[in-house]
Copies of this chain bind each other. A is one copy, B any other.
Amino acid sequence: MLNFASDYLEGAHPNILEALIKSNFVSCPGYGDDVYCKSAKEKIKKAIGRDDVDVWFLVGGTQTNRIVINSALAIYEGVISADTGHINTHECGAIEHSGHKVISLSQSEGKLAANTVRDYLETFYADQNHEASVFPGMVYISHPTELGTLYTKAELTELSKVCHEYNLPLFLDGARLGYGLVSPASDLTLREISELVDVFYIGGTKVGALCGEAVVFTKGNTPKHFYSTIKQNGALLAKGRLLGVQFDTLFTNDLYFEISKNAIRQAQRLISIFEQKGYPFFLKTDTNQQFVILENEKMKTLSGEVVFSYWEKYDENHTVVRFCTSWATTDAQMDALEQIL
């Protein structure tokens, strides 16, 4: 069965498995204090082009969002997010479970506009009674967004500006960052991102790793005793090497970027296949997620041969579905999809 349901359908890039085998019997201290983590951190800093950032490895995206946000906020603060933000929709209330409101604002194609944030903040502080409300304490965005769209450099710069005017750290969820960075439509480098945001992460799980997200604090702003906070949240791997080895491999010879390009290339082909077949798009993006409108009947028959994701109801007779490509998508799979359609 052909599968375009997500970008985490396969295991890991073969180089990673090889590196796991090669390093397997090297005896290492636990909890991230191993040579592989150290090497991976250095390589990531080099990829960013800055030596003054602080890199940490966590296991998954929801975990990372929860811990980073929980560490940044005071008890009376919440986090601003697009209403489509992953933390607001698909994390089972992880942020609220850790005590903080997600202050959801309207967005356009998954992107939070600087003006939306500014308007919110101005209105908030203009309200004489604002001390009875949740204080905004951070701004969270995803890049690429949950809808596969990308912030432009101008947009991210504006957002960064308003955040810093109000002393709010800007947190960028980069679960799919690789796909954003190598998209031909992107005008943002890793270094620029590191300069515009206060903390972000480089997603491994969706870009070739078995698991793992590399969190980067960019302003000397690592939360105090972050190690203990990670442990407290049950997120500290005893064998931290598992993350170190993976990111060390991904950031050797630009592997992370190279495999990201495959997803983009296949996504572009996917668009043209659907276009040729005359399918309407709900949203065509510059990254690895594409949103197609299917007649419900067609959706039913198609789902006998291809796996894709239900996104939302379009109207009585149509449904929006999502097709994902990834680092692992092959030409053969695209050929097969073309034939089926």
A contact residues vs B (CB 8 Å cutoff): 1, 3, 5-6, 8-12, 14, 17, 20-21, 23-30, 59-67, 70-71, 74-76, 78, 89-102, 123, 126-129, 131-135, 205-206, 210-211, 224-225, 227-229, 231-239, 241-242, 307, 309-310, 313, 328
A interface: dominant SS: loop
Residues B100 and A93 in contact, CB atoms below 8 Å apart:
yes
Minimum Cβ distance to chain B for residue A93 (Å)? 4
A74 CA / B92 CA spacing, docked (Å):
12
17 A/B residue pairs, CB under 8 Å, sorted by A: A1-B27, A8-B239, A10-B25, A11-B20, A11-B239, A11-B242, A59-B237, A60-B235, A92-B131, A94-B234, A96-B134, A97-B100, A131-B225, A135-B225, A205-B238, A205-B239, A206-B238
Q: State in angstroms the CA–CA spacing of A95 and B227 once bound together.
A: 17
Query: What chain B residues lie within 8 Å of A61 (beta carbons)?
Result: 238
Residue among A3, A75, A239 facing the most chain B CB atoms (10 A cut-off): A75
In the bound complex, CA of A313 to CA of B27 (Å): 26
**In whole angstroms, what is the CA distance A6 to B1 when docked?**
44
Are B236 and A76 in contact (CB-based, < 8 A)? Answer: no
Complex contact A11–B241 (CB within 8 A): yes
Task: Report chain B residues within 8 Å CB of A93.
Answer: 76, 78, 100-101, 133-134, 232
A190 CA / B94 CA spacing, docked (Å): 34
